[in-house]
Amino acid sequence: MSLPISCCNLCGSSERSKLGRCSLPIELRSDKTSVEVRTLAESVRDSELYECHQCGLRYRKPQLDEQSLGQLYRELPAQAWDYVEADIQSWNVAGKVIRKRFAGQSEIKIVDIGAFDGRFLSMLPKSWNKAAVEPCNSVLESLKQRDIRWISDFPENIPDAEFGQFDVATMFDVFEHLPDPQTTIRQIVRLLRPGGMFLFSTGNSSHWSWNLLAGQHWYLHTIQHLSFANPRSIRWLAEAEGLKLQGRIRHSHQRRTLRHKFQHSLETLHWRGRMSHGPQRHLAGLIQRLPGQRRLMHRDRAPMAVSLNDHMLVCLAKPTVSKETPKR
């Protein structure tokens, strides 16, 4: 689906509020950015954050088109996402939900959308049948080594034979990359058998840190992030697609201590003050005078506050076939 530039990425409505200018893309701040990516980033450097009146989604416009995004993801190096598995809270939370749901069952079929090198799937029982949808060419060998079957680069290219086969589909930190989340999620749900479960994790754009920072929030630092969900837009999506919303679990992007949460909260309030021209600007000055906070005066963008509970794991269920045709 291709929507006019002024429309919501989720529902297509043009009724919206402008929430503020997005921060300068990280791709334009880094010396390591290739010429090709820099050119793409220049084309969207003046984007704004909007909120849709109809479905509540927050989204960036202008944004990269699907072709440019596809190119960007295919060429990511294998070390593009450098992480410590145990710190990824969406994996920890989803792992618990899935293990509880399928406890004692040995032949579960699971597919991970945007699986990258397959590290999440490799944390699940060995006996499970695992598949991946992943566009990055450099990780295909890693998937093979982990006994994970690669089925497609993007959801729209999944072969028909895969539909209706899976007990569970997962998708972590991908929703925000989607220019058309409804069409992509419809395609993912087609992979599930009736009653199958779809879990995805993304930022919650109605978290207090978003309400304070709007377009300056760290989630908007990269040009790859386009669509920002929240409980209202998830309800809209579930209803529109006839899916059962089974639950929504709030979590932080990464596992951190309470001390980190306090520091990140303070830094978020500080940046809100720095963005202001009125009396709130004094807040930044006050925070900088607190012990150990003087360094904040040198900050040049909003904090990457990965310890705050500004993410959510959404659990959706595909309806079971309610009535069978009576046998004659």
- Which H or E element spans position 194? strand 192-203
Q: How far is the CB of 56 from Zn ion (least distance, A)?
A: 7
Closest distance of CB 235 from Zn ion, Å: 12
| Least distance CB 61 / Zn ion (angstroms) | 12
What is the per-residue burial (b if ≥16 Cβ within 10 Å, else e) of 83-106?
A: eeeeebbbbebbeebbeeebeeee
Place of tokens 């890693």: 142
What is the CA 57 to chain-centroid distance, rounded? 13
Q: C-alpha distances in angstroms, 156 versus 14, 186, 196, 212, 320?
A: 25, 10, 19, 36, 23
CB of 232 to Zn ion, least distance (A): 10
Judged by beta carbon, residue 13 or residue 222, the one nearer Zn ion is 13
Minimum separation from the CB atom of position 248 to Zn ion (A): 18
- The whole-angstrom separation of Cα 189 and Cα 305 is 32
Residues 107, 287: Cα–Cα separation, whole Å? 54
The answer to whether the CB of 104 falls within 8 A of the CB of 125 is no
Residues in touch with Zn ion (CB under 5 A): 8, 10-11, 13, 52, 54-55, 57
Give a three-class secondary structure readout of 215-232: HHCHHHCCCCCCEECCHH
Is 57 or 188 the residue whose CB approaches Zn ion more closely?
Answer: 57
Q: Between residues 128 and 228, which has the closer beta carbon with respect to Zn ion?
A: 228
User: Smallest gap, in angstroms, from Cβ of residue 13 to Zn ion?
Assistant: 5
| Complex with Zn ion: residue 179 or 196, whichever CB lies closer | 179
Could you please report the per-residue DSSP string of 105-139?
-S--EEEEET-TTSTTGGGS-TTSEEEEE---GGG
Nearer to Zn ion, 19 or 52 (CB): 52
* Closer residue to Zn ion (CB): 16 or 311: 16
